[in-house]
């Protein structure tokens, strides 16, 4: 049987990964080159959760990370013809490609993830208290 502690622990791990991904997005809001040094802006990541079917018994299941996906949306373009990384030809000539990251959206996602984290810590505390009370009654 999967315990409430296992369910909450799996949620804590999942939300931690989500917060780390969000903080990576915020940290790379101004990154204009990829790991290979090409003039390609950072592409934001987002976490996809799924039910942890491996431990599911009696309708109770935890959560696990399905994958961390890369957002494939177009970058934001700003006209900066004097910038050293400005596009030199084509439709976007004179523009600089910036990551398509909305700071407000990232903050709201981070707030949601931290609240979910706090809620699961609360569940763990309540479960520990109930277990402690049960043991004191039985003793």
Q: Which residues of the chain have pLDDT under 70?
A: 1-2, 55-59
In whole angstroms, what is the distance from residue 25 CA to residue 31 CA?
10
Burial of 55 (0-12, 13-18, 19+ CB in 10 A): middle
Closest C-alpha among 22, 28, 30 to residue 46: 22
Closest C-alpha among 106, 113, 90 to residue 44: 106
Kindly state the DSSP code that residue 75 receives in the 8-state scheme. P
Q: What is the pLDDT of residues 64-103, one digit of tens each?
A: 999 999 999 999 999 999 999 999 999 999 999 999 999 9
pLDDT at 60: 74
- In this prediction the pTM is 0.85
């Amino acid at each position: 049987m999967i315990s409430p502690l296992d369910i909450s622990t799996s949620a804590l791990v999942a939300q931690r990964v989500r917060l780390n991904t969000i903080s990576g997005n915020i940290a790379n809001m101004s990154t204009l080159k990829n790991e290979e040094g090409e003039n390609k802006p950072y592409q934001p990541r987002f976490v996809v959760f799924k039910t942890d079917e491996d431990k599911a018994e009696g309708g109770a299941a935890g959560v696990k990370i399905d994958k961390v996906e890369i957002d494939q949306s177009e970058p934001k373009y700003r006209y900066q013809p004097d910038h050293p990384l400005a596009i030199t030809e084509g439709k976007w000539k004179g523009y600089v490609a910036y990551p398509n990251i909305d700071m407000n959206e990232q903050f709201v996602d981070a707030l949601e993830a931290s609240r979910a984290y706090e809620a699961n810590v609360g569940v763990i505390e309540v479960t520990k208290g109930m277990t402690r009370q049960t043991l004191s009654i039985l003793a």
